[in-house]
Amino acid sequence: MTATGTARITTVQYRRAFVLLGSVQTMLIFTLASIAIPLPRIADELGLQRVDLILLSAAYGLTFAGLLLFGGRLADRYGGRRALTAGLVVFAVASAAAPFAPGFGALLAARFAQGAGAALVAPAAMAVLRAVFPGPAAYGRAMATWGGLSALGATAGNLLSGVISALLSWRWTFAVPLVAAIAALALMPRLLPDTAPNRGRALDVPGALLATSGITLASYGLVVTDSQPWSSAGVLVPLLGGTALLAAFGYAERRARDPLLPPRFLLDRRRALALTAIALSACGTAMTFVVVSLHLQQARDWSQLQASAAFVPFAVALLASGRAAGPLIGRYGAGAVTTAGLGTAAAGLALLAFTGLDPHTWYAYGLLPGLVLLPAGTAASFAGAAVLATEGVPQEQSGLAGGVLNTAMEFGPTVLFALLLTLGTDASSLAATGAALAVAALMHHRTK
């Protein structure tokens, strides 16, 4: 076989490995977003109250965000592919149980278990990705594409769940992550390299317990602000308890011999700003789906199918921007693309806030411009920020980097979402998110 043929085969193998890992990452965020639109149907079928729906919608994200740092450490210690296999098995079993849930308790437990599996899968996938692309340049190009996959998963989750629940049943929405997980498990042995464990690293169980319980409690306290006032015990007890545990975690990490999250990992200013950009971009996307979906179905009396169809241009713009982000990062740098993406997303949110939510404006010139600019900007900012957040990270900390990046993507929006919802689920929350994105763009511009 010629050298050219060998190089061609190697390139194909790299691409197939990336497609598999990218599909897994997209599946995780699809599962997070897919339950939002079918919630009213779930409530009718299972006889759920508002507080039940809030807990059900938050269950996956609570365990996902809470266990991510520990999942990253497990991936680094036992090897990315082993951790990925274990996480996918847990995720697949939970996804198979969810559609057969006879009531609220069983469905809630399945969502918690899905999140626990996802918390191991997400950082493990990034650890394997680093093994597939060990060179800094190749890894940077891969991360430029990887950064937009979460927004793509959220968009697909909102689009497909509305269609599936309208045409079939909400229970069928769990078939998508189940099939994806089974396919990934079947293809992994052929497409993904094995990764060496690093058993010399301690697991830092006390740090893991503090981080997991703190993030989960604080997230729960923020989530229930949708149904309870900030001054109520139902909000203050978990919020203050979670904050205290996170403070104890920070103190313990400074004294630990082999900390779960080395404090110096977040001291890099560019990395900290990149994680902020990821959190803000994720919040802007999530806020837009909630606000615009409610607006279309309540103020304009659109059906679930019509509301899902309204986001098709959103998905197209997201895909186009994500595809262009890699070459742009190669030419202008990750910082410049992140800055431009944040500014574009802020402009899209401003358009949605000040013109798109007027029920008397036409979709084509009221909502559509914002629904194109926002995803174009968030895809670019995700891509650039993902490169910046993982730049210079040694291979043995790839799982840690994946855990931190995904925590910013999950826990950050939970905090911002709860704060913005106090303004009301309307134009003011979108405008505030847009202003935050504009400020982040200015901060990134000053660090270039």
The residue whose two tokens read 């965000």 is 65
How high is the pLDDT of residue 88?
96
The reply to whether 432 and 305 lie within a common domain is yes
The reply to whether 339 and 386 lie within a common domain is yes
How high is the pLDDT of residue 423?
55
Q: Which of 94-103, 216-225, 246-255, 274-283 has the lowest mean pLDDT?
A: 216-225
pLDDT tens digits along 339-365: 889 889 888 888 888 887 777 788 888
C-alpha 276/C-alpha 271 separation (Å) is 9
Query: What's the structural domain count of the chain?
Result: 2
The reply to whether 172 and 239 lie within a common domain is no
pLDDT tens digits along 364-422: 888 889 899 988 998 888 888 888 888 777 777 777 777 788 778 776 666 666 666 55
The reply to whether 70 and 180 lie within a common domain is yes
The reply to whether 153 and 222 lie within a common domain is no
How high is the pLDDT of residue 435?
63
- Structural domain contains residue 1: no
The reply to whether 283 and 180 lie within a common domain is yes
How high is the pLDDT of residue 140?
78
Whether this prediction's pTM lies above 0.75 is answered by yes
The residue-averaged pLDDT of 56-78 equals 83
The reply to whether 125 and 252 lie within a common domain is no
The reply to whether 215 and 140 lie within a common domain is no
- Domain that residue 212 falls in: 205-259
The reply to whether 267 and 249 lie within a common domain is no
- Structural domain contains residue 199: no
Of the candidates 136, 147, 123, 150, the one whose C-alpha atom is nearest the C-alpha of residue 384 is 147
The reply to whether 150 and 126 lie within a common domain is yes
Phi, psi torsion values for 367, nearest 5 degrees: -90, -40
- Structural domain contains residue 245: yes
pLDDT tens digits along 303-342: 777 877 888 898 889 888 888 888 888 888 888 888 889 8
- Structural domain contains residue 200: no
Rg (CA), the chain: 21
CA separation, residue 70 to residues 94, 213, 219, 235, 415 (Å) = 20, 11, 17, 26, 20
Contact 225, 260 (CB under 8 A): no
The reply to whether 92 and 117 lie within a common domain is yes
- Structural domain contains residue 4: no
- Structural domain contains residue 3: no
Q: Which amino acid is at 223?
A: V
User: Does the pLDDT value for residue 3 go beyond 60?
Assistant: no
- Structural domain contains residue 311: yes
Contact 128, 84 (CB under 8 A): yes
How high is the pLDDT of residue 185?
95
pLDDT tens digits along 284-308: 887 787 778 777 877 778 877 787 7
- Structural domain contains residue 140: yes
pLDDT tens digits along 234-266: 888 988 998 899 899 888 878 877 777 777 777
User: Does the pLDDT value for residue 427 go beyond 80?
Assistant: no
What is the per-residue DSSP string for 243-302?
HHHHHHHHHHHHH-SS-SS-GGGGT-HHHHHHHHHHHHHHHHHHHHHHHHHHIIIIIS--
Q: At 270, which CATH number?
A: 1.20.1250.20
The reply to whether 220 and 86 lie within a common domain is no
